[in-house]
Amino acid sequence: MKRGAILVNTARGECVDAAALLADTALSGIGLDVFAHEPFVDAGPLLAKGNVLLAPHSAGWHKDLGRALNDEVATQVNAWLKGLPLDGEV
């Protein structure tokens, strides 16, 4: 990344090499809400850089999330019981 860029990772913790972030001096900011190893317990060295924001992976939260998740689970279980294809099946 070019000097002065801001790195934000909200995808997968493994996408970013945390050791490389500690050594980096070119980034002007780092924002992470996912980590390769969770729970992330050794944030001290990264936070000591002063240009780092760490947050829990909760970007998808909203007030109706519990109901939406329950509805989706019920829909998927019903489809499975009926032998129907599941949404997002891999």
Q: Which positions are annotated as active-site residues?
A: 12, 38, 57
Q: Write the DSSP symbol of residue 26.
A: S
Cα gap 68→74, rounded to integer Å = 10
Residue type, 22: L
Which of 44, 54, 1, 8 lies closest to 25 in space, CA to CA?
Answer: 1
